[in-house]
Amino acid sequence: MKEEMRQKFIEILGNNRVLFDEPMSQHTTFRIGGPADVFAMPENYEQIREVLRLCREEKLPFFVLGNGSNLLVSDSGYRGVIIQMDRNMEEIRVEGEEIHACAGALLSSVAVAARNASLTGFEFAGGIPGTIGGAAVMNAGAYGGELKDVLKEVTVMTRKGEILTIPAEKMEMGYRTSIIKTAGYLVLEAVISLKKGDEEAIRATMKDLSERRTEKQPLDYPSAGSTFKRPEGYFAGKLIMDSGLRGYRAGGAQVSEKHCGFVINAGGATAEDVRTLMEHVIEVVREKYGVTLEPEVKFLGDFNGR
């Protein structure tokens, strides 16, 4: 990237809130990914708006990053601008039976805030390794709960810098999708509507779910969580296991032996390792069961035209 363009980002964000040629392996739960041209860390709405304006004017592609928990970045990195909404915008406010959470707030932190305020309904999200922003985009869910069940409204910024507040009933939330995803909005804040409950009961539920995750999921290895979407009428992990792929490896990527729905970085995995492994899994499961698995993980960057 030309020095002139670098200076424009520095003018908007300051020296301490923008990085260049930043390794994305430092910002994804897979611990995989080459360098991003620009890694922007805005701290307020105006800086976000100005970064979007610059991207629009200079025709620079951009990607909004939360916790990097559902993402595979290519080994060659990303020729564009990463806008991180994680550590810079994580305020959580409890107001009565509502929780107002900025886009960068971790779901685990929101769950703890709800528990401490004796508010029930958000226990399911306590172990999901993502942010409120990412959860709103993908309608995150686990253990029978989904964000749409407790969402009141989301405040977003359009690609032109306009701020909108969208009520939950107009969010078009489905399985791992929402209007935010289809329209390309940036999440700024979400309001979660919960109910009064018993703190000890909430604590017990969260403890139980945490123990179940620890028992069943390969949390001791880098991964992007569930690798494939749940096919209608099936479970991806069981199809993969029944196809004889438990422990299957491609380079440093491996189908988890603990939970076949997870592809893990077993050590030194590249993005191409993960992509190759996923393609093999999809092919084997399709041949054996006639079911085509779809990736839940988002791919960012160049994957050799595949």
Residues acting as catalytic residues? 176, 226, 296
Is residue 234 classed as helix, strand or coil in its secondary structure?
A: coil
Q: Name residue 89's amino acid.
A: M
Is residue 275 classed as helix, strand or coil in its secondary structure?
A: helix
Q: H or E element: which one contains 206? A: helix 199-216
Q: H or E element: which one contains 199? A: helix 199-216
DSSP-assigned letter for residue 249: E
d(CA 41, CA 47): 9
Alpha carbon of 60 to those of 47, 77, 90: distances in Å?
16, 15, 26
- Asked if residues 139 and 177 have their Cβ atoms less than 8 Å apart, the reply is yes
Assigned token pair, 299 = 């791919």
Using the structure block, give the residue that is written with the tokens 């020095």.
3
Which residues, at least 6 apart from 290, have a Cβ–Cβ distance to it below 8 Å?
A: none
- Asked if residues 43 and 105 have their Cβ atoms less than 8 Å apart, the reply is no
d(CA 65, CA 86): 7
d(CA 222, CA 106): 18
β-strand partners of 266: none
Alpha carbon of 188 to those of 64, 91, 104, 204: distances in Å?
11, 11, 8, 31
- Asked if residues 237 and 223 have their Cβ atoms less than 8 Å apart, the reply is no
Within 10 Å of residue 142's Cβ, how many Cβ atoms? 18
